[in-house]
Chains A and B, each alone.
Chain A
């Protein structure tokens, strides 16, 4: 769609950038120690952190992608909305308290609590960076494509704007700026999504039944869009999707890092409780928006072709709908919010990658903790600039990257490397250093190998006839194998270190449940 420059979009976005830079200036003056930089001095409140957590999860891909999925596949899109809500609720039950009680800056603190500290920090850093860097690049490539479609802006320019702003936020303002950028964006997204839903339901007189009936009357699947089966047809994919939402989300380093920005376990618990409410509300609403679009965009030839496909891809459904029901001004607002969303999400990912390099690898492993606080903050800022610049360069080089494949890969790594390591470290006394390293490495290798052998790479990229691994997502197998190897190797481990690992469990249990060491 070529709309020229939408003045409202530019103004709303400019206002967002202006406010976020003011926030960064304010935050930079309050960011002195390593604790300030990584966790905003653990002074974020539960509601603020709940919004920021929900913001980290509600990326542009979630909002635009989920509307598009409901538009294409109907009620099966609810599997994603349920996955988000259930995944976050399970994170609350299983991780919230124990993680907050054991960690300080990153999730590596938690797995290094009783296992060999340097070895586990290296493993956690591998698990963090193999998730964060590809995820960062996927988001930036997505941003470039979206801006091109929305504003006719050059791809490289869009990537540079996003990359430079995120680097400025994180390098200067640390976690405090990152959190406030995320909070502002989450509020804008919740308001924007709600307003879009209200505007889209006015033509139906807010009668959901009427909307669903008319959607079924128009959609090529007919009544089928109100019944399951539009997107999934095999049980392996359904179970893999569920595991990716639960294990994958619980293994994302930038989300785990947020647990440490609040003062204590009580606030961590409440903040994730808030996040579940925001995420359930927002994702449930997004599916309704997708259904409304089926009716309201039908026959609008500037958005939809004769076969019912959305011009520029299904991800454009929400922005087109915004224009259809709210006119140019509202369209501009939603487009700017999508822009702000990407910016906030990449900032969160960037700070987790920087913390992993500066805190886990440099300070803890290379210097064994023997550096001053000021020095550590300086290293974090340097790491931020280097990772930010690298991400900009790689995003410009790989502009044709398949974002869907990378996002699935990243979630699979989080679910198969970080999640098993964390849950077993927290709940299974017998876990040993050797078991964690064997399982984590195996999980990573299995994800990469299965992804290469899957249809998306083996057939689509490498041009073979049939895929050796027939499913799109590796999570079910890679996660099971990672758990099996970790458990098997730990049980067989009779080393001296294994004895230390197991004997330290009671002390960890006490601290993780009581909140202090005894």
Chain B
């Protein structure tokens, strides 16, 4: 248990938790907000979303819908990349030091 309190107060562990939380809840919040806003906008702003984008046959509704799918894919790739790049090295160091 001594080890625990030491590790829990290690600045690197605090940094790991902080960075991970920011990524985890930030990206989740972004995507869920985008999804719910899109769904609810469909109920209250249907007329606006039904307008054509730059005179093409593609409506805002189609464009934004596919945009959110691409955003979801982009956020996932970003998350994996960030965790591998920043968080994994911290984990490795802490595991070596306290393990």
Contact = CB atoms under 8 A, between A and B. Distances in A.
Interface of A: 75-76, 78-79, 81-83, 85-86, 88-90, 92-94, 97, 208-210, 212-213, 216, 223-224, 226-229, 232-235, 238-239, 241-242, 246, 266, 269-270, 272-273, 276-277, 280-281, 283-284, 506-507, 509-510, 513-516, 518
Contact of A82 (B5, B65, B83): B65
Contact of A242 (B13, B36, B65, B69): B36
Contacts of B68: 82, 85-86
B57 to A, nearest CB: 4
Contact of A270 (B8, B43, B80): B80
A226 B62 contact: yes
Contacts, number: 169
B83 A232 contact: no
Nearest to A216: B57
Contacts of A241: 39
A233 B79 CA distance: 34
A277 B50 contact: no
A514 B95 contact: yes
Contacts of B59: 75, 212, 226-227
Interface residues of B, number: 55
A98 B77 CA distance: 18
B27 A89 contact: yes
Given A224-B50, A241-B39, A266-B88, 19 more contacts: A75-B59, A82-B68, A85-B72, A85-B73, A89-B28, A89-B79, A209-B58, A226-B61, A227-B49, A227-B50, A228-B50, A232-B42, A238-B42, A242-B39, A266-B84, A270-B80, A276-B72, A510-B8, A516-B95
A246 B70 CA distance: 17
A232 B42 CA distance: 9
Contacts of B23: 93
Contacts of B25: 93
Contacts of A210: 57
Contact of A280 (B17, B73, B80): B73
Interface string B73-97: 1011101100110001001001100
Given A97-B83, A235-B40, A518-B4, A212 B73 contact: no
The list of the 3 closest CB pairs from A to B, nearest first, reads A227-B50, A228-B42, A78-B65
A428 to B, nearest CB: 13
B15 to A, nearest CB: 12
A284 B66 contact: yes
A92 B99 CA distance: 26
Nearest to B77: A273
Nearest to A211: B57
B39 A79 contact: yes
Contacts of B27: 89, 93
Contacts of B36: 238-239, 242
Contacts of A228: 41-43, 46, 49-50, 61
Interface of B: 3-5, 7-8, 13, 16-17, 20, 23-25, 27-28, 31-32, 34-36, 38-43, 46-47, 49-50, 56-59, 61-62, 65-66, 68-70, 72-73, 75-77, 79-80, 83-84, 88, 91, 94-95, 98-99
Nearest to B67: A82
A82 B59 CA distance: 17
A518 B20 contact: no
A446 B76 CA distance: 33
A81 B65 contact: yes
A287 to B, nearest CB: 8
A272 to B, nearest CB: 8
Contact of B43 (A86, A229, A276): A229
Nearest to A97: B83
B35 A518 contact: no
Nearest to B88: A266
A270 B83 CA distance: 10
A86 B58 contact: no
Contacts of B40: 235, 238-239
A208 to B, nearest CB: 7
Contacts of A269: 79-80, 83-84
Contacts of A514: 7, 91, 94-95, 98-99
Contacts of A224: 50
Contacts of A76: 42
Given A81-B69, A284-B66, A284-B69, A276 B39 contact: no
